[in-house]
Amino acid sequence: MTNVPESMKLRRDVSPLELFYDLVFVLAAYQLSHHLLEQLTWRGAAETGVLLVAVFGTWAYTSYAATFLNVDRRVTRWMIVVAMGLGLFMNAAIPGAFGDRAWAFVIPLLAILFVSGAVTALAGRTDLLREHYRRTLLWVSASAPLWIVGAAVGSGPRLWWWAAAALIDVTGTWLAHPLPGRTLSSRELAFDADHMLERLRLFFLILLGETVLTTGRAMSEAPVDAPNVLAATGVFVALVCLWAAYFGGGEDLVTDSVAHSPDPVRSVRHGVNSTYLLLAALVAFAVGSERVIAHPTGHGSTTLALLLLGGPALYLATTAWFFATTAGGAWKERLLATAVLACAAAAAVLIPPLASLALLDLVLVVTAAVLIRAHRRLAAERTAAPATADHPSP
């Protein structure tokens, strides 16, 4: 079990300031979807992926720091407010990041990473936490020159410089910013896991909300006729199913598992790591949904199949990994649904978009129903089982 003293174990609600900060990323999710929609090529997808890593990385860094520091502290509140202002400028520059607004994107990005890292390295409550964030600053310092060089060069080679920088940043996040011979002893680190899980849940709702906004915008621009109404309805059904696949009891399983984990920091880190892919999945689905609503009776294509069905498939595959490493169950059903969606994507190349959407809805409705039952069954088994066998550690 964890060696953190009971007096150091924190339990805090998500504050209004943190919710206010998260609203900046409604804009980010919209901008990422819009960038992909406007640059619907393999290069455009790569650009969107690089920007996604940068944007979500700033959210993750700041949210972790606020959770470690305690948002009730004045220094933490000022850090969040500063990061929010910088994030607004960064996210506003996303459409032109690979054009004439590279510096408008990079300067706020690096400022957020260095500010949140420096504040936590100085104001952290324990020596272990301060030492970890000093290592984090070294990782940020390794990627910063690549972000800067990428902003200075032309838009062509910029993708390669920024891709290398994004790779360093996401690797650091996934591995908890280790250095040779020095790794994070997370079992001894005071951390409010419930608080960070709630932040992740709320961020996930923001991502779903952005898809609602994208759908609404597409509906407002499309003719009010039967195909378009059916397409909008089908997208709504898919969104509800994606929501139910997690919030239909799944979030309670995760919370319970993390609460009984000997290493809650590691479990939450898995959630943060998976959110990179969940964001990519929902951005892809948002763009695919907009294309279906705009042209419901058009021709199928590989691009549409990858967006409309590939996005949900990535979503289910990612949550399968997350549930396998945290809840210890309800992951096989997700993998099976992923395989079915992969087969459906092959058929979507040949059929009209509206038919592809109907196929997606069929798979997701069945999947959501199966997962809700699986979550209830797993919860009942845990209630009935002895406490020592209830919660397999990740």
Map residue 75 onto helix, strand or coil: helix
* Higher per-residue confidence, 214 vs 302: 302
Of the residues 188, 222, 249, the one at which a domain ends: 188
Residue the block writes with tokens 């220094």: 75
Does some domain include residue 287? yes
Residues 217 and 338 in one domain: yes
Identify the pLDDT of residue 175: 84
Residues 183 and 50 in one domain: yes
Q: Is 55 inside any structural domain?
A: yes
Q: Give the pLDDT of residue 311.
A: 95
**Residue 310 or 210, more confident:** 310
All residues at 6 or more sequence positions from 327 whose CB lies less than 8 Å from its CB, including other chains: 250, 253, 254, 257, 378
Question: What one-character-per-residue DSSP string does 57-69 give?
Answer: HHHHHHHHHHHHH
Asked whether residue 153 falls in the same domain as residue 94, the answer is yes
CATH number at residue 368: 1.20.1410
Confidence band of 188 (pLDDT split at 50, 70, 90): low
Residues 252 and 347 in one domain: yes
Highest-confidence segment of 5-14, 89-98, 249-258, 294-303: 89-98
Tens of pLDDT, residue by residue over 205-227, are 888 888 888 888 888 888 888 88
Instruction: Quote the mean pLDDT of the chain.
Output: 88
Residue 257 pLDDT greater than 80, yes or no = yes
DSSP 162-193: HHHHHHHHHHHHHHTS-BTTB---GGGS---H
pLDDT grade for 23, boundaries at 50, 70 and 90:
confident
| Residue finishing a domain among 141, 157, 188 | 188
Q: Of the segments 105-114, 119-128, 171-180, which one has the largest average pLDDT value? A: 105-114
Considering the chain, what percentage of its residues have pLDDT values greater than 70?
92
Q: Are residues 245 and 171 in the same domain?
A: no
Both 205 and 141 in one domain: the answer is no
Report whether pLDDT(6) > 80: no
User: Is 5 inside a domain boundary?
Assistant: no
pLDDT at 186: 61
Q: Above 50 in pLDDT, residue 393?
A: no
Instruction: Answer yes or no: do 49 and 104 share one domain.
Output: yes
**Domain span at 316:** 195-390
Q: Kindly report the CA angle at 13 between 22 and 271, in degrees rounded to 5?
A: 60
Q: How many domains does the chain have?
A: 2
- Both 154 and 207 in one domain: the answer is no
Tell me the range of 267-271, 344-348, 389-393 where mean pLDDT is highest. Answer: 344-348
Q: Give the span between the Cα atoms of 66 and 54, in whole angstroms.
A: 18
Q: Do residues 62 and 116 make contact, with C-beta atoms less than 8 angstroms apart?
A: yes
Maximum C-alpha span of the chain: 64
The answer to whether residue 114 scores a pLDDT higher than 70 is yes
Residue 83 has pLDDT above 80, yes or no: yes
What local confidence, expressed as pLDDT, does residue 8 receive?
44
- Has this prediction a pTM greater than 0.85? yes
On whether residue 3 sits in a domain, the answer given is: no
Distance in angstroms (rounded) separating the CA atoms of residues 323 and 340: 19
Domain boundary among 188, 204, 223: 188
> Would you say residue 182 has pLDDT above 70?
no
Nearest one of 77, 72, 31, 20 to 54, comparing CA atoms:
31
- Residue 178 in domain: yes
